[in-house]
Every structure is written in C-alpha cells, then in structure tokens.
Amino acid sequence: IPGGFSYGDDVAAGKILANELRFKLRGALDQFVSQGKRVIGICNGFQVLVKTGYLPGTSDRSQTVTLASNDSGQFRCHWVRMRREKSACRWLNETDSYWELPIAHGEGKFVTRDVKTLAALEKNGQVIFRYRGTNPNGSINAIAGICSADGNVVGLMPHPERHVVRSQHPEWTRGTGKNKVPVGLQFFQAAVQN
C-alpha cells in the first residue's frame, strides 16, 4: 500500500482507504495475510494498515496504535537516519543495520493506545525501525516502522522507494556508499527474495 495522500486524507490520514479495505476487501485480505504473504504499507499505506488493524495485527483487527500529527505541527519532508532492529520481520534481518531514507508526512508520530500495547510490540520483536539522532515527529520510543507478530505485514513512515538508486541520496556525489546497494533497493529485494 503506497505512500501518497489517499482521498486527500481529508477525514484523517488513510481513514477512507482503510474503511474501503475493511468493508470491501476484508475477506480477501484476511486470507492473503493468513497465508503468510507480504503486505507492505509505506507512509500513508502504514497509516492505512494501522487503521484497518492489520498492524500491529490483533486477532479481532482492532486499532491499537495510530500515527498522529507530528509534534512540530508541521508537514516534515527531509532525510532521516534510522536503525533497523532484529525483529519478527526476519526477511529484513540481513539488510544493512543503519538506514537513511526520506520522510514526507504531517501525521507520522507513532503512538500506542496504552503502555501494555507498547510493551507487547517491544517484547514480540515487532519494532523494525527506530529513528536515530533526531526523532522527526515525536514517535514513542523513536519508532519509525513495525510489523505483525508473524513479520509478513510491515509498515514504515520513511519511503524506501525513494532510495533505490544511489543518485537519489542527497550526498551521492560525495562518494559515500559508492559500492553499497541503496537501502531502499535492499528493502524491496529482501521482500521479493526471502
């Protein structure tokens, strides 16, 4: 489920698309997810997955987390640094540990309904990415991305599709990471190959 502003996000980020998925495609999506197939939500797609309850993935598909307005009260659009955690999303565990990707959102602050939900996410290895250095939106525990308990449903606020070639990085001319596969490309290759 890609980034972008579904239905202009006029009601709340991702809410209308989430309702369409819940009420029109729920059976097919439930079957797809239960077969262990991968569902990836990027930025607005992440917002959609939390509003449908596919993330963090309770059995009754209730919403237990959300992506709220950034602490700054402003739309943020810049590159961020992240750390990839060892997680239940095993197909990502062989990618680089440190990532740089761009963000572009006004509602990206990850929050949980209660402390118990946050503790479960941490204990179950469902946190995939954390911001390092600056937390651009005020996310609890600097969380930038999570997965379902099985690791096949993934959501993250930064955009891996915007760093699939080296020249997309703002410092590409400095030669940093010259022989490295861009992390965005690593993300999609891992999703397909593993």
Where in the sequence numbering do the catalytic residues fall? 43, 159, 161
DSSP 9-51: GSSSTTHHHHHHHHHHSHHHHHHHHHTT--EEEETHHHHHHHH
**CA dist list (Å): 12 to 57, 61, 91, 157:** 20, 19, 31, 16
Long-range contacts of 175-184 (CB under 8 A, 24+ apart): 180/96, 183/95, 183/96, 183/99, 183/100, 183/101, 184/101, 184/159, 184/160
Calpha distance 113→50 (Å, rounded): 12
